[in-house]
Amino acid sequence: MKPVDFDLHQPATLDAALALLASHGDEARVLAGGQSLVPLLNFRLARPGHVVDIGRVAGLGGLRGTPDGLVIGAMVRQSRAERAPEVAARCPLLAAALPWIAHPPIRARGTICGSLAHADPAAELPSVAVALDATFVAASTNGCREIPAAGFYQAYLTTALRPDELLAAVRFPAAPPGTGAAFGEVSRRRGDFAMAGVAAQVTLEDGAIADARICISGVAGVPLRCTGSEQALLGSAADPGDLRRAADAALDILNPLGDLHATAGYRKHVAGVLVRRAVAEAYGRAARPS
């Protein structure tokens, strides 16, 4: 299939892009890497009257480390972040998740902010952002506002962004010393959408977990933060009993739907297994001598 007719705009400045969004509102969609929007257009699941291509907008390609963490602009490609040493140094969970996204050609075009704004609950990056309490910077003609990750994802493919807003950047906090991270998922084929995925990060003090962050993707309409699992791990050394309690706490809040790819029971079982594996791997990395 092919998309319905639309007007393509290619602004050169952020102000021009924001003016277009303010003018066209719900009739406009933002195009960055196109790896989410173009398939929706081709299947006519999205029918905008206007597409605002921000690929030529200056100033949106910044990726920089700060004393507090990492700032990633709207046009930073996933492949660039995957290779960036500042991502590995400051945000190991993001670095662990990026290689799981689809395939190299997709990551060469897809953007970090594009995936976050698309809000597919089976995608890897939204669960990383929720686990790490990232901050989303939304820009409009009225200025910028900051949206915490905990309030950004509202429902399936639905975020707190207003129609006149562009996700201009995302900020990830820096991982403290003694931190390890891991990401894992299960899909029918490598690169397919996951039936379940888990983002896990732990920070150790004297060999015990002082902070834990766990978020599950692919099992609900939004990324699912597992605070019960996090609490169950505090003060532990991630032994088998600790991992089982963390997984059980996650399973208590899971109520996934079945579909043609997996039954609800199988998806729930996989999520529990992935919690145990990801936490164990994250703990091992945190405990490894630097």
Could you tell me how many residues make up the chain? Answer: 290
Residue 263 exposure: Cα atoms within 13 Å on the Cβ side = 3
The three-state secondary structure class of 159 is: strand
Q: Are residues 153 and 185 in the same domain?
A: no
Pure H helices in 48-84: 78-83
Domain stops at, among 145, 172, 199 = 172
The CATH number of whichever domain residue 128 belongs to comes to: 3.30.465.10
- Does residue 59 sit within a domain? no
Q: Are residues 158 and 188 in the same domain?
A: no
Q: Are residues 127 and 30 in the same domain?
A: no
What's the confidence (pLDDT) of residue 45? Answer: 86
At a CB cut-off of 8 Å and minimum separation 6, what does 27 contact?
48, 49, 50
Q: Are residues 222 and 276 in the same domain?
A: yes
Return left, alpha or beta for 178; rule: phi > 0 is left, psi -120 to 50 is alpha, else beta: left
For residues 225 and 130, is the Cβ–Cβ distance under 8 A? Answer: yes
- Does residue 258 sit within a domain? yes
Q: Are residues 40 and 111 in the same domain?
A: no
Domain stops at, among 138, 153, 172 = 172
d(CA 261, CA 284): 32
- Does residue 190 sit within a domain? yes
The CATH number of whichever domain residue 26 belongs to comes to: 3.30.43.10
Place of tokens 């003609």: 141
* H-helix or E-strand spanning residue 216: strand 208-217
- Does residue 1 sit within a domain? no
Q: Are residues 71 and 30 in the same domain?
A: no
Alpha-carbon radius of gyration of the chain: 19
List the one residue out of 186, 130, 188, 179 whose CA is nearest residue 159. 130
Per-residue pLDDT of the chain (290 residues; tens, 9 = 90+): 688 899 999 999 999 999 999 999 999 999 999 999 998 889 898 999 999 999 999 999 999 999 899 999 999 999 999 999 999 999 999 999 999 999 999 999 999 999 999 999 999 999 999 999 999 999 999 999 999 999 999 999 999 999 999 999 999 999 999 999 999 999 988 888 889 999 999 999 999 999 999 999 999 999 999 999 999 999 999 999 999 999 999 999 999 988 888 899 999 999 999 999 999 999 999 999 76
- Does residue 166 sit within a domain? yes
- Does residue 290 sit within a domain? no
Q: Are residues 126 and 203 in the same domain?
A: no
Q: Which domain holds residue 272?
A: 181-285
- Does residue 130 sit within a domain? yes
What's the confidence (pLDDT) of residue 1? Answer: 66
Indicate the pTM of the whole model: 0.96
What's the confidence (pLDDT) of residue 259? Answer: 85
Total count of domains within the chain? 3
At a CB cut-off of 8 Å and minimum separation 6, what does 269 contact?
none
Burial level of 21, CB count in 10 A (0-12/13-18/19+)? buried
What's the confidence (pLDDT) of residue 160? Answer: 98
Q: Are residues 192 and 271 in the same domain?
A: yes
Q: Are residues 77 and 109 in the same domain?
A: yes
d(CA 4, CA 273): 43
Q: Are residues 160 and 186 in the same domain?
A: no
What's the confidence (pLDDT) of residue 109? Answer: 96
Q: Are residues 45 and 135 in the same domain?
A: no
Domain stops at, among 172, 196, 223 = 172
The CATH number of whichever domain residue 248 belongs to comes to: 3.30.390.50
What's the confidence (pLDDT) of residue 188? Answer: 87
The string of DSSP codes covering 27-75 is GEEEESS-TTHHHHHHTTS---SEEEE-TT-TT---EEEETTEEEEETT
Q: Are residues 273 and 197 in the same domain?
A: yes
- Does residue 17 sit within a domain? yes
